Amino acid sequence: MDWYEPKFKSNETIENCNECGVCYYICPQTEPLIKLLDEQYSVKDKIGNIENVIAAKTTQEKIEEIGQDGGIVTTSLVYLFEKNLIDAAIVSLYDEELKPEPHIIFDKEELFKAAGTRYSISSQILPLKELYNLSLEIQEEKGIYDIDQLRIAFVGTPCQARAIRKMQYLSIKPAHVIKYLFSLFCFENFDYYKLYEILEKETNVPAENIKKTTIKKNFFVYTKQDEKHEVNIKKLDPAVRNHCHSCDEFTGRYADISVGSSGAPKGYSMIITRTSIGQDIVNLLLSSNYISQYIVPVNERQEWKQKKMNLFNRMVKLKK
């Protein structure tokens, strides 16, 4: 791919594409590998396998300020870097007009520039191709002489997590270096230009003046001057990415860990662990006090988890 264009496809080479078909197989919206992935990741319904569901938030003051919700994703990645469990992470940085920029980062400090959510498309798969051009400096710093030694954490939306799992299933390199797969919950995503055009029309706030955006039923814009604007989420429909209309995901069922705010108490994130890899990280984050768990009131304990599952199921159904 050359950015979004299939660079190798031309009238002269179209036969190559017909014979190869890799794009088709790894596209998150195609069916052929789904049953196999479901088997591999014990997926039996639209929510997917669940080792555990908890609500938690970061204990790190700096991340509390910049995280979107409980700062769980950033804190997890900080932990993985600090304990030397990863060499790099694929995250979404952004420019001064909040335009997402997918990036592979090699340094924990860069994580602080990625914290928070930008509700528009960030093509998290693209940075994978940079792995074959690692600078000598990075290779020396990380002690890597072969790409196979790299250990990467990946953060993306459910469709992106699914594409990674499909690549891994087919042994398409370099997806094999992704050791930790984080999926954000995602109801829908927006085209950057259309989204900010509508937001400016509705609020009079240009993108460069926006500090943060959140979705809590409606869309909220927080400006750098600390003003708050509410935009009816329906007004943003024309900006919704077309593919989201036929997506049946919400929580990211093929990830190691899924993180979102839906169902979480204020300031917390919901965390769904799905694999032993995901569960191990959350156990370590809790036991080493990087995150703290929401204590469910005694009288709600029995039905708490079921209520969250019902909510996630409702969200998937709503999408359809």
The footprint of ligand FAD (CB under 6 A) covers 67-74, 91-92, 100, 114-120, 122, 124, 155-157, 184-187, 189, 215, 259-262, 269
User: Looking at beta carbons only, is 116 or 127 nearer to ligand FAD?
Assistant: 116
| Residue facing ligand FAD at closest CB distance | 260
Structure tokens at 206: 């240009």
Task: Compute the least distance from the CB of residue 39 to ligand FAD, in Å.
Answer: 27
Task: Compute the least distance from the CB of residue 103 to ligand FAD, in Å.
Answer: 8
Phi/psi-derived region of residue 43, left when phi > 0, alpha when psi is between -120 and 50, beta in every other case: beta
User: Looking at beta carbons only, is 25 or 112 nearer to ligand FAD?
Assistant: 112
Task: Compute the least distance from the CB of residue 139 to ligand FAD, in Å.
Answer: 24
Distances (CA, A) of 128 to 91, 174, 175, 204: 11, 7, 7, 37
User: Looking at beta carbons only, is 39 or 83 nearer to ligand FAD?
Assistant: 83
Task: Compute the least distance from the CB of residue 162 to ligand FAD, in Å.
Answer: 13
Output the CA angle 309-293-53, nearest 5 degrees. 20
User: Looking at beta carbons only, is 89 or 177 nearer to ligand FAD?
Assistant: 89
Strands 218-223 and 210-216: what pairing?
Answer: antiparallel
Kindly report whether the peptide bond that precedes residue 32 is cis, defined as omega within 30 degrees of 0. no
User: Looking at beta carbons only, is 29 or 204 nearer to ligand FAD?
Assistant: 29
Residue type, 219: F
Tokens 């989201």 appear where? Answer: 244
User: Looking at beta carbons only, is 17 or 240 nearer to ligand FAD?
Assistant: 240
Phi, psi angles (nearest 5°) of residue 10? -145, 175
Rounded Cα gap, residues 126 and 116, in angstroms:
20
Task: Compute the least distance from the CB of residue 148 to ligand FAD, in Å.
Answer: 25
Structure tokens at 162: 């699914």
Rounded Cα gap, residues 33 and 159, in angstroms:
14
User: Looking at beta carbons only, is 118 or 162 nearer to ligand FAD?
Assistant: 118
Task: Compute the least distance from the CB of residue 302 to ligand FAD, in Å.
Answer: 24
User: Looking at beta carbons only, is 62 or 142 nearer to ligand FAD?
Assistant: 62
Task: Compute the least distance from the CB of residue 291 to ligand FAD, in Å.
Answer: 10
Q: Can you list the positions of beta strands (E) in the chain?
A: 52-58, 88-94, 100-105, 152-156, 178-184, 210-216, 218-223, 228-231, 257-260, 269-273, 291-293
153, HSE (Cβ side, Cα atoms, 13 Å): 29
Task: Compute the least distance from the CB of residue 288 to ligand FAD, in Å.
Answer: 17
User: Residue 193 has what DSSP assignment?
Assistant: H
Question: Mapping DSSP to helix (H, G, I), strand (E, B) and coil, where does residue 187 land?
Answer: coil
